[in-house]
Amino acid sequence: MPSDESRRALMKPRAITVDGDRVAYRVAGKGPVLLLVHGMAGSSVTWKHVMPALAKRFTVVAPDLLGHGESDKPRAEYSLGAHTDTLRDLLDALGRRRATVVGQSLGGGIAMQFAYQFPERCERLVLVNSGGLGREVNLILRGLTLPGAESLFPLVCTPRLRDAGNLAATWLARGGIRSTPATQEIWRSYASLADADSRRAFFRGLRDVIDLSGQAVSALRRLYRAARLPTLIVWGAQDRLIPVSHAIAAHQRIPGSRLEIFDGVGHYPHCEAPERFVAVLVDFIRSTKPAHLPARSPRRRSDLHR
């Protein structure tokens, strides 16, 4: 795997204005386009462990979704369809027509929505511990959908606590004690919510896909449509946020799909097992032909999962 220095060089953020909003993104490499879509309360930084290796073979585009990372956080819609439109417009602005779309967690739901809204632009679909494939989801996320949760959250997630946590992590690292990649991802998600605008966007997006009973959206009944699209499903067997049973159910409903379950890995296979993740993804792309599907009728623009 590349050194920390090479990772930092390739992960330097850029930004572009899309429909009046600043969208931050990271791009590297040459060749067929990989569009990497992060999860809820995440950012494109989540791909830092795999982006340098992937950039040796592909043009890798990793945006910060609106409401996340260094992108703008407008008072706007944060539905799957809205995120998908932004990704389409970003690719247009970068002069990229088609891509293999890779989505992790919430990003998986967005990737499926992208394939549904713009099939002519999607060459392959890769779902990584994806949302939108069943009701079950972590109890904490369900609890955060309760009325008033957003007003209580600032008490346990403040800039002072975030800064103290970052300082403690730095001290521990200097002493040779490093947290796991999964812990780092969880901390970055938590720390991002110390910002009021990020927190507002998070709760708006959360309630679009999750309610107290679980995931409120599901693509299971429409997954048969993905049969025309080369599809890879990657899942960590020890995922405590979204159960691995969702991966198995999706694989059974998508004829010709490929399923890779990583033992000993949780919700972030691309961080916890980056070498294996890159190898699986590269092999999948090499062994499949990009789809060439017709454009979908514009008469229906609602989210795939509703």
Conformational region of residue 6, where left means phi above 0, alpha means psi within -120 to 50, and beta covers everything else: alpha
- Answer for the pair 35, 47: CB distance below 8 angstroms, yes or no: no
Torsional sign, CA 87, 88, 93, 94: positive
In Å, how far are 111, 128, 229 from 178, measured between CA atoms?
32, 25, 40
Q: Helix 196-209 to helix 106-117 angle, to the nearest 10 degrees?
A: 60
The residue from 72, 85, 239, 303 that is catalytic is 239
The residue from 105, 130, 218, 257 that is catalytic is 105
- Answer for the pair 78, 86: CB distance below 8 angstroms, yes or no: no
* 36, two tokens: 């990497």
In Å, how far are 35, 135, 177, 282 from 219, measured between CA atoms?
20, 11, 41, 26
Conformational region of residue 29, where left means phi above 0, alpha means psi within -120 to 50, and beta covers everything else: left
Number of alpha helices (DSSP H) and beta strands (DSSP E) in the chain: 12, 10
Q: What angle do CA 197, 202, 203 make, to 5 degrees?
A: 105
Residue 297 falls in the annotated catalytic set:
no
The residue from 49, 83, 251, 267 that is catalytic is 267
Residue 303 falls in the annotated catalytic set:
no
List of residues 6+ apart from 25 with CB closer than 8 A: 13, 14, 15, 16, 44, 61, 62, 63, 64, 90
Amino acid letter for position 26: R
Residue 105 falls in the annotated catalytic set:
yes
Torsional sign, CA 167, 25, 243, 217: positive
Active site residue ranges: 105, 239, 267
